[in-house]
Amino acid sequence: RQCLPGWTVINSMCYFFALSEELSRRSWMDATHFCKRQGSDLLVINSREEHMALAEIVTMSRDPSRSLAHSGFWIGLRDADVEGSWTWLDGTRLEEGYWDNGEPNNQNNEDCAAMYPRENPFHSWNDAPCNWNLKWICERTPRPFSS
């Protein structure tokens, strides 16, 4: 098996969607710690194809009992160091973003990015306060094949 049980393989990478109610919702930092304990990090999006594949899964996860503000998934993207300078966890600056209309708007100091189940998955990001509790997506390389 390439990925840990419960993880999804897409284009040779392993993804974990924190969907189950028992995992609950967490701050951006707590979600990062969860991923690190699994040898992974929050999702870093490197291509339009990767964005579309992930955004479609997020869109299918839509829970009508939750308002959109509570149904996002944290990704590994922040502008905490310099306002407006969005940087991925791997240190690369954001080139092309897939923000929802009007986002990022930094409403009440929003420094962390999340992907939401929008009708248009191509524009599904919002900046939200990092201490807001949301679901999250972890990403890691497949397990090395050994013994």
Q: Which residues bind ligand 2F8 (CB under 6 A)?
A: 69, 103, 105, 107, 110, 126-129, 132
Q: Which of 79, 111, 127, 139 binds Ca ion (CB under 5 A)?
A: 127
Q: Which does 111 bind (CB under 5 to 8 A by kind): ligand 2F8, Ca ion, none?
A: none
Least Cα distance to 12 among 140, 146, 121, 138 occurs for: 140
When the beta carbons of 14 and 43 are compared against ligand 2F8, the nearer one is 43
Q: How far is the CB of 102 from Ca ion (least distance, A)?
A: 8
Cβ burial 12-47 (10 Å sphere, 16+ → b, else e)? ebbbbbbeeeeeebbbbeebbebbeeeebbbbbbee
Check residue 105 for interaction with Ca ion (CB under 5 A).
Answer: yes
User: How buried is residue 5: exposed, middle or buried, by Cβ count under 10 Å (0-12/13-18/19+)?
Assistant: exposed
Q: Which does 9 bind (CB under 5 to 8 A by kind): Ca ion, ligand 2F8, none?
A: none
Amino acid at position 38, single letter: Q
Instruction: Give the binding range for Ca ion (CB under 5 A) out of 38-46, 77-85, 93-101, 110-118.
Output: 110-118
Least Cα distance to 119 among 139, 101, 104 occurs for: 101
When the beta carbons of 32 and 126 are compared against Ca ion, the nearer one is 126
30: its two tokens = 């707590």
Chain positions contacting Ca ion, by CB under 5 A: 105, 107, 110, 126-127
